[in-house]
Amino acid sequence: MTNQELALYANTIRHDIIKALGKAGSGHPGGSLGMADIFTALYFSEAHVDPKNPNDPNRDRIVLSNGHICPVLYATLARAGYFPLEEMQTLRVLGSKMQGHPHRGALPGLETTSGPLGSGLSQAAGMALGLRMDKSAARVFCLTSDGEHQEGNHWEAVMLASKYKLDRLIQIMDRNYIQIDGTTEDVMPLDPVADKYRAFGWNVIEIDGHNFTQILEAIRSASAHTGTPTLINARTIPGKGVSYMEGKFTWHGKTPNAEDTQKALADLDAVRDAIENGTYVY
């Protein structure tokens, strides 16, 4: 796919996220919108996955650690053909397959049950170690938030992955600098987070998480790297594409009301027009 095609897919996924959250009346728009480009790049370009054979033992594993941004995962899986798009409208409905945090087994394509922040990298590292034992070339992509780096369990996994040189493990951190109570640097400063990973023995690639050229090059570079796990430190804008949400921590877990939803969809329509007209930078 061209970068323009990927940008259009990401914009469509953002539309799906807003519609589902608006109907549900609860959920997390900030990180979901911010990570749409990363998820689009993985599922529509770089990851070796097949919606027609979701349990293929040779597939790449995609682990979502910060499960509260599952609207972007659900929307991407639906658009990729894992299940009907109509199911998105059951987001957070009691008894739905689409709960507020992913539940492994509820839907095809879900590799883990997530919710407790800081746990995903441990799960992903275990998968990577197991795949190595099976002599598999499959990669494990672990999507994490910056806020969950405040959990001690996460850093235990960072050390383990480095010790065992899990070079098929690629972590992509959503470095959007926000969490539910404010900015990460106010709540518990993380920077210089890239240097911390280097000190733990990781390969680090720093990118603009909305630039498809950088995203694709980073994933390919990480996949070719040997000897150590890789962190792709992706700088993103929370609420990306919706003018009144962008960069505001208050939209971490606040859902749009009916009026907000229409404004958000109008913003995304304008972005789509800019992409099609070639005036949008992606």
What confidence tens digit (pLDDT) does each residue in 179-227 have?
A: 999 999 999 999 999 999 999 999 999 999 999 999 999 999 999 999 9
Give the whole-number percent of the chain exceeding pLDDT 90.
Answer: 98
The continuous run of DSSP H or E covering 144 comes out as: strand 140-145
Residue 49 located in a structural domain: yes
Give burial (CB, 10 Å; 0-12/13-18/19+) of 216.
middle
The pLDDT of residue 281 is 81
* 136 found inside a domain: yes
- Give the pLDDT confidence score for residue 68 in this predicted structure: 97
Asked if residue 33 is part of any domain, the answer here is yes
**Radius of gyration (Cα) for the chain, nearest Å?**
18
What pLDDT is attached to residue 115?
83
Please give the model's pTM, rounded to 2 decimal places. Answer: 0.97
Report the pLDDT averaged over residues 126-141: 98
* Closest by Cα among 60, 32, 39 to 141: 60
Which DSSP letter does residue 174 get? E
Hunting for tokens 């053909």 — which residue is that? 81
Q: How many CB atoms lie within 10 A of CB 129?
A: 17
> Can you give the residue range of the structural domain that contains 128?
3-277
Terminal CA-to-CA distance of the chain, rounded, Å? 14
pLDDT of residue 75: 98
State the CATH number of the domain containing residue 7: 3.40.50.970
Backbone angles phi and psi of 56, in degrees to 5:
-50, 120
pLDDT classification of 269: cutoffs 50, 70, 90: very high
For 46-84, what is each residue's pLDDT tens digit? 999 999 999 999 999 999 999 999 999 999 999 999 999
In-domain check, residue 104: yes
Residue 156 located in a structural domain: yes
| 160, part of any domain | yes
d(CA 39, CA 33): 10
The answer to whether residue 62 is domain-embedded is yes
Range 115-137 average pLDDT: 97
What tokens were used for 94? 């009691």
**For the residues 10-28, what does the mean pLDDT come to?**
97
Residue 282: pLDDT band with limits 50, 70, 90? confident
- For residues 151 and 28, give the distance between their C-alpha atoms in angstroms, rounded to a whole number: 20
Paired sense of beta strands 182-183 and 203-208, if any: unpaired
Q: Give the total number of structural domains in the chain.
A: 1
Asked whether residue 282 is assigned to any structural domain, the reply reads no
